[in-house]
Amino acid sequence: MIKRWWSSLNIAFSMYSRLPAAQCDWSEENMRYVMCFFPWIGIVIGALCVGWAALADILAVGAPLRNVILMLIPVAVSGGIHLDGLLDTADAMSSWRPREKRLEILKDSNSGAFAVIACGVYFFLAYAVADAVHGKQILVYALVFVISRSLSGLSVVTFPKASANGTVAGFAKNAQTRVIQSVLICYIIGVFAVLLFLEPVFAVVAAAAAALVFIWYYRMAMKYFGGINGDLAGCFLSVCEVAVPLAVVLADLVIRAI
Per-residue pLDDT tens digits for 182-227 = 999 999 999 999 999 988 999 999 999 999 999 999 999 999 999 9
Contact residues for 196 (Cβ-Cβ < 8 A; gap 6+): 203
Query: In the predicted model, is pLDDT for residue 47 greater than 80?
Result: yes
Q: Quick one: CA dihedral 187, 193, 198, 200, positive or negative?
A: positive
Contact residues for 144 (Cβ-Cβ < 8 A; gap 6+): 46, 206, 210, 240, 241, 244, 245
Is residue 37 very low, low, confident or very high in pLDDT (cuts 50, 70, 90)? very high
User: By the 8 A CB rule, do 222 and 208 touch?
Assistant: no
Is residue 234 very low, low, confident or very high in pLDDT (cuts 50, 70, 90)? very high
pLDDT for position 57:
93
List, for residues 80-95, the tens digit of each pLDDT value: 999 999 999 998 888 7
Q: For residue 35, what are the CA distances in angstroms to 15, 29, 142, 146, 166?
A: 11, 13, 20, 12, 16
Most confident listed range (25-39, 43-57, 154-168, 243-257): 43-57
DSSP 49: H
219: closest CA among 236, 244, 242, 237? 236
Helix ranges restricted to H, the chain: 2-16, 34-58, 63-78, 81-95, 99-107, 113-132, 137-158, 167-174, 177-198, 200-225, 230-257
Where exactly are the structural domains of the chain?
A: 2-257
pTM of structure: 0.92
The separation between the first and the last C-alpha atoms of the chain, rounded to the nearest angstrom, is 54
Which residues sit opposite 161 in a β-bridge?
228
DSSP 162: S
User: By the 8 A CB rule, do 52 and 44 touch?
Assistant: no
Side-chain half-sphere exposure of 8, counting CA atoms within 13 A: 23
pLDDT for position 101:
85
Residue with more model confidence, 240 or 99: 240
| Dihedral in degrees, nearest 10, Cα atoms 88, 69, 150, 133 | -110
User: By the 8 A CB rule, do 11 and 26 touch?
Assistant: yes
| Dihedral in degrees, nearest 10, Cα atoms 188, 52, 118, 218 | 0
Q: For residue 118, what are the CA distances in angstroms to 121, 129, 148?
A: 5, 16, 19
Q: For residue 1, what are the CA distances in angstroms to 163, 179, 207, 223?
A: 31, 14, 34, 40
pLDDT for position 167:
65
pLDDT for position 95:
79
User: By the 8 A CB rule, do 257 and 141 touch?
Assistant: no
Residues written for the chain: 258
pLDDT for position 69:
96
pLDDT for position 108:
73
List, for residues 113-163, the tens digit of each pLDDT value: 888 999 999 999 999 999 999 888 898 899 999 999 999 999 998 999 887
